[in-house]
């Protein structure tokens, strides 16, 4: 029982941290038809993810057609059924 409680609390704090932090990345590929993006992102300590190149589904609110490969960005994400969705993105100077 104590173990279960511990797991639930960690899940909760994980999702809160994940939805509010900004992660820096470089755009690798943009797929506007499927509303997806490939990002080379920095480590994400809150979910113990090292830096890597990976694909994200992107929320409709994010104007994907304004991004190009090579752009430096930062993004926010949420966990969705084992994958990560980008919910906000900004270009860095």
Q: How far is the CB of 4 from Cu ion (least distance, A)?
A: 28
- Give the sign of the dihedral formed by CA 59, CA 64, CA 67, CA 70: positive
Nearest residue (CB) to Cu ion, 32 versus 83: 83
Nearest residue (CB) to Cu ion, 2 versus 81: 81
Q: What phi, psi does 13 have (nearest 5°)?
A: -70, -30
Cβ atoms of 40 and 28 within 8 Å: the answer is yes
Q: How far is the CB of 3 from Cu ion (least distance, A)?
A: 28
Q: Which residues bind Cu ion (CB under 5 A)?
A: 49, 52, 54
């Amino acid at each position: 029982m104590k173990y279960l409680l511990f797991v639930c609390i960690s899940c909760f704090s994980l999702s809160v941290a994940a939805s509010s932090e900004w992660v820096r990345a470089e755009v690798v590929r943009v797929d506007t038809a499927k509303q997806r993006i490939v990002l080379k992102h920095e480590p994400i300590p809150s979910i113990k993810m090292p830096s890597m190149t990976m694909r994200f589904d992107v929320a409709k609110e994010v104007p994907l057609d304004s991004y190009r490969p090579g752009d430096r960005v930062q993004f926010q994400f949420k966990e969705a059924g084992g994958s990560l969705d980008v919910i906000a993105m900004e270009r860095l100077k």
